[in-house]
Amino acid sequence: MALRATIYKADMQVSDLDRQVFETVSVALARHPSETEERLMVRLLAYALHLGQGLAFGRGISSEDEAALWRHDLTGKLLLWVEVGLPDERVLRRACGKADAVVLYTYGGRNALQWWGQNADALQRLSNLTVIDLAQEVTLELAALVRRNLQVQVTVQDGEVWISVGDRTVHLHPEVRKPGPG
């Protein structure tokens, strides 16, 4: 018998002073049995950082043809593809061919650094790709905040991010490894 996805619900209050986005949203995230809590929270963080009309979660970790998150316009054109983790370079190349902009959030400390070293040259040629690394100690702190029902506050200012769940706050400064377009 196959294991089923676990559903997590998050009520998020996002105050992104950098983009002038101030919204309260409720989202449901399906966690695939092979997905870690760390990856789940990185997806939720990415959702908050790209919050806007049309943003939706893809089918998940088991589908290479869908992004972790993506945004289509009203005509169906793919505007944004957001990926998390350390994907194969070919997946990113395909995504860059389909979407106007692609953003990758890497995490995993030494593994992410090694992955970047192996893929940096090929990825530099993808003009619509942005690569952002999240420090491992921060993503592990985020994973420790996971609950089936989350009340989350996200504040973004000057490129820094504060995520609060209950009385705990995690501060992070995402490192841009490869800037994307404009």
pLDDT of residue 91: 93
Dihedrals φ, ψ of 2, to 5°?
-75, 145
Pairing of strands 149-157, 160-165: antiparallel
Binned at pLDDT 50, 70 and 90, residue 113 comes out as very high
Amino acid in the structure at residue 160: E
Binned at pLDDT 50, 70 and 90, residue 182 comes out as low
Range of the domain at 94: 6-178
**Number of domains within the chain:** 1
Answer yes or no: are the C-beta atoms of 84 and 133 closer than 8 Å. Answer: no
Average confidence (pLDDT) over 116-126: 96
Q: How far apart are CA 80 and CA 166, in angstroms?
A: 31
Binned at pLDDT 50, 70 and 90, residue 33 comes out as confident
Q: Which two tokens stand for residue 123?
A: 């990825």
Q: How far apart are CA 51 and CA 175, in angstroms?
A: 19
Report if residue 149 sits inside a domain: yes
pLDDT of residue 62: 57
Q: Which two tokens stand for residue 138?
A: 């921060």
Q: How far apart are CA 67 and CA 56, in angstroms?
A: 9
Q: Greater confidence, 5 or 23?
A: 23
Report if residue 90 sits inside a domain: yes
Look at the block and give the residue holding tokens 């505007």: 79
Binned at pLDDT 50, 70 and 90, residue 2 comes out as low
Average confidence (pLDDT) over 81-100: 95
Binned at pLDDT 50, 70 and 90, residue 65 comes out as confident
Q: Which helix (H) or strand (E) holds 77?
A: none
Report if residue 1 sits inside a domain: no
The helix/strand count (H/E) of the chain reads as: 4, 11
pLDDT at 24 over 60: yes
pLDDT at 3 over 80: no
Average confidence (pLDDT) over 22-44: 93
Q: How far apart are CA 95 and CA 88, in angstroms?
A: 11
Answer yes or no: are the C-beta atoms of 43 and 29 closer than 8 Å. Answer: yes
Q: Can you give the CATH number for the domain in which 159 is found?
A: 3.10.640.10
Q: For the purposes of burial, counting CB atoms within 10 Å of the CB of 72, is it exposed (0-12), middle (13-18) or buried (19 or more)?
A: middle
Binned at pLDDT 50, 70 and 90, residue 132 comes out as very high
pLDDT at 64 over 90: no
pLDDT at 38 over 60: yes
Report if residue 113 sits inside a domain: yes
Report if residue 44 sits inside a domain: yes
Report if residue 15 sits inside a domain: yes
Report if residue 130 sits inside a domain: yes
Dihedrals φ, ψ of 66, to 5°?
-125, 150
Q: What is the pLDDT of residues 151-172, one digit of tens each?
A: 999 999 999 999 999 899 999 9
